Structure 1
Amino acid sequence: MLPVFVLLLALGIDARWGEPRARFHPVVAMGRYLAACGRVTVRLRPAPAFALGALAWWLGVLVTGLLAWGVQAFAFRQFGLLIAQPAPDRAAAFVLLAALMGWLLKCMLSWRMLHDEVGAVELALQQSLEAGRERLSWLVSRNTALLSASEVRESAIESLAENLNDSVVAPIFWFVLFGLPGAAIYRFANTADAMWGYRGQWEWAGKWAARADDVLSWLPARLTAVLLALAARGLPLGALRWEASKTPSPNSGWPMAAMALALGVSLGKPGVYTLNAAGRPAAPVDTASAQKYASKAVLALVLFAKIAIIIIAISYYIALSP
């Protein structure tokens, strides 16, 4: 089935080539649009800042969704026409259409870069604390200048868990439900939250973007926690729910708490929250273990995604049958 092939191809492209160049990356284009709009909205008073921020968000979602829908509709239409073509022509055209959709879906997710960047922080820490802090600053928005070696490692592991949802699970979740438009709209919403969803000067201009991302990430974040629990061969659900509730975000606490419990370490942001406070400080081996658990979670996700796509396709076929 085409969606399954597209998903596997997207993950294959990600594993082999990683991120495309910035000038060819759709998410970079989203970021440029959001940056241009943000320069205007952030200067306004609260009410107009909120209204214009919400309007800019909806406009971005509309354009992103329509473009993704157009590509998907074209691909499915051509795929339908290919059935009547000779086998060699049909196979070549199918591969080209799937490659186009697979590349676009790959741009909406990023597993290889996330995995490698977390490993790069650990390698930098082996050189020096300063090198580790510097490398971590590529991955997180918090101030890394005063972090200890253990805190640098904890921050990297937290980022792996949180972005496992944002960069892998959630895009695939919405792709399974709504195809390429679902993944593209989620990626736009998550990028908007990453750029606008802060307090302070962005309090009102980014409020809609922040709340929209909370809604779209609600189910995927909990799914990510379940996948990590499966990778760890079970976690106490009561403890997971309690630890997840400690973070200000309604979603990010779930994958981070699952990772903390799976590793048996304490993860936290100084002065904000501590997850699994009874756990030990993160050690070098925990970075590799976190990568292993995340990799297992991705493999489980792909398996469940394939099953879900097949079930949806069969249900759709039955519903349309006379």
Structure 2
Amino acid sequence: MLLGVAADAALGDPRRGHPVAGFGRLAQTAERVLHRDERAAGVLYSGLLVGGTAALGVLADRAARRGGPAAEAAVTALATWAVLGGASLADEGTAMGRLLDAGDLDGARGRLAHLCGREAAHLDEQGLARATVESLAENTSDAVVAPLVWGAVFGVPGLLGYRAANTLDAMVGHRSPHYLRFGWASARLDDALNLGPARLAAVLTALCAPVVGGSAGGAWRTWRRDASAHPSPNAGQIEAAFAGALQIRLGGRTVYGHTTEQRPIMGEGRTADAGDVRRSVELSRVIGSVTGALAAVAVVALGVRRRG
């Protein structure tokens, strides 16, 4: 797992043939066949794709074990590298920070689509910075902390199964009329899988905040006070913690292509700016490194317990 974390930090995502992109194309094909405006069709869709991916992980894990420790380590490292998104997340956040620093709001509006699905056409500098910080926070939990947690507990099947569920949520777990019923199962499964990791990510945000000049106490207080008001049971956890850590305000009017949400304000003080985007990137990186170390410790502890 540590090799996979290091590979993600050093190499980022592969430019061609990314396994997650391949899974996305498969999911699109399956959607065209299975889509119906009903929850049962969505349950079948999510069950087949997530269950099939986890089963593939079980087969890969068993084959690797027969090949010996080196093969098992290689397969686990490759799976970890494939599912993590920490380096790409940091790259996108850094690019947004540079565009905002340069005053290139049109470039930043176009770039925001790499991080989230918000409508950016009418966002000003502060709106773009706020959207970036919120997306960096949420994806630190979803694309870094959560896969490592499930990988530590269930190995390769946990890594691949979680990433499949999270990808389906991003694709069909929307509240638009087209996906309201069909995407319900994917959205609820992703919520369930992130209940624990999201709260761990908020705690780690508080612990790591001083490393980037943030406030550990602010992160803890804002998380405990404001997270539950967020419409998402999980995204609000780390977004509130980031707001407190950076001592800024997040939340407010949020526009997507299919809906507009008036989210509660999290945190207090000033609004986000380009400097907060840069600090969010660094905080995300620190959280990812600490989570990788904790996941390795958990793997060893669980292994000792099972042998005992």
Q: Is the 8 A contact 1:71 1:101 kept in 2?
A: no
- 2:185 maps to 208
In 1: Cα distance, 2:72 partner to 2:305 partner:
24
In 2: Cα distance, 1:307 partner to 1:140 partner:
32
Q: After TM superposition, give the deviation of residue 238 of structure 1 in Å.
A: 4.8
In 2: Cα distance, 1:138 partner to 1:207 partner:
24
Q: Is the 8 A contact 1:11 1:106 kept in 2?
A: yes
* TM-score (normalised: structure 2): 0.90
Q: Is the 8 A contact 2:34 2:45 kept in 1?
A: no
- 1:155 maps to 131
In 1: Cα distance, 2:267 partner to 2:298 partner:
37
- Secondary structure at the aligned position of 1:276 is classed as strand
Amino acid at match of 1:232: A
Q: After TM superposition, give the deviation of residue 277 of structure 1 in Å.
A: 5.0
Q: After TM superposition, give the deviation of residue 21 of structure 1 in Å.
A: 3.6
Task: After TM superposition, list the pairs within 5 Å mapping 1:66-77 onto structure 2.
Answer: 66-77=55-66
Which one of 218, 224, 228 corresponds to residue 241 of structure 1? Answer: 224
Q: After TM superposition, give the deviation of residue 269 of structure 1 in Å.
A: 4.2
- Secondary structure at the aligned position of 1:11 is classed as helix
- 1:115 maps to 90
Q: CA RMSD in A?
A: 1.7
In 2: Cα distance, 1:33 partner to 1:139 partner:
22
In 2: Cα distance, 1:149 partner to 1:299 partner:
30
Which segment drifts farther, 113-122 or 28-37?
A: 28-37
The unaligned stretches of length 5 or more in structure 2 are 211-215, 254-260
Amino acid at match of 2:217: L
Aligned length: 293
Task: After TM superposition, list the pairs within 5 Å mapping 1:135-284 onto structure 2.
Answer: 135-199=111-175, 200-233=177-210, 234-235=216-217, 237-270=220-253, 271-276=261-266, 278-284=268-274
Which segment drifts farther, 66-75 or 186-195?
A: 66-75
Q: After TM superposition, give the deviation of residue 20 of structure 1 in Å.
A: 1.6
In 2: Cα distance, 1:56 partner to 1:279 partner:
44
Q: After TM superposition, give the deviation of residue 261 of structure 1 in Å.
A: 0.4
Which one of 73, 77, 99 corresponds to residue 98 of structure 1? Answer: 73
In 2: Cα distance, 1:146 partner to 1:316 partner:
55
- 1:9 maps to 3
* TM-score (normalised: structure 1): 0.86
The C-alpha deviation readout for 1:1-39, integer Å capped at 9, x for no partner, is: xxxxxx11111211222112443x221222112212323
Which one of 284, 290, 298 corresponds to residue 308 of structure 1? Answer: 298
Amino acid at match of 1:312: L
In 2: Cα distance, 1:182 partner to 1:101 partner:
11
Q: Is the 8 A contact 1:235 1:258 kept in 2?
A: no
- Secondary structure at the aligned position of 1:245 is classed as helix
Q: Is the 8 A contact 1:257 1:275 kept in 2?
A: no
Please state if 1:27 is matched with 2:20. Answer: yes
Q: Specify whether residues 38 and 242 from structure 1 end up closer, same or farther in structure 2 by C-alpha distance, changes over 3 A only.
A: farther
The C-alpha deviation readout for 1:210-236, integer Å capped at 9, x for no partner, is: 001000011000010011010125335
The C-alpha deviation readout for 1:95-148, integer Å capped at 9, x for no partner, is: x55333312221111110000101101112224111111111221101000011
Q: After TM superposition, give the deviation of residue 275 of structure 1 in Å.
A: 3.3
Q: After TM superposition, give the deviation of residue 243 of structure 1 in Å.
A: 1.1
Amino acid at match of 2:179: W
Which segment drifts farther, 268-277 or 247-256?
A: 268-277
- 2:258 maps to none
Q: Is the 8 A contact 1:266 1:274 kept in 2?
A: no
- Secondary structure at the aligned position of 2:114 is classed as coil
- 2:282 maps to 292
The unaligned stretches of length 5 or more in structure 1 are 1-6, 81-93
In 1: Cα distance, 2:228 partner to 2:263 partner:
10
Percent identity, please: 35
Q: Specify whether residues 316 and 111 from structure 1 end up closer, same or farther in structure 2 by C-alpha distance, changes over 3 A only.
A: same
- Secondary structure at the aligned position of 1:201 is classed as coil
In 2: Cα distance, 1:172 partner to 1:26 partner:
17
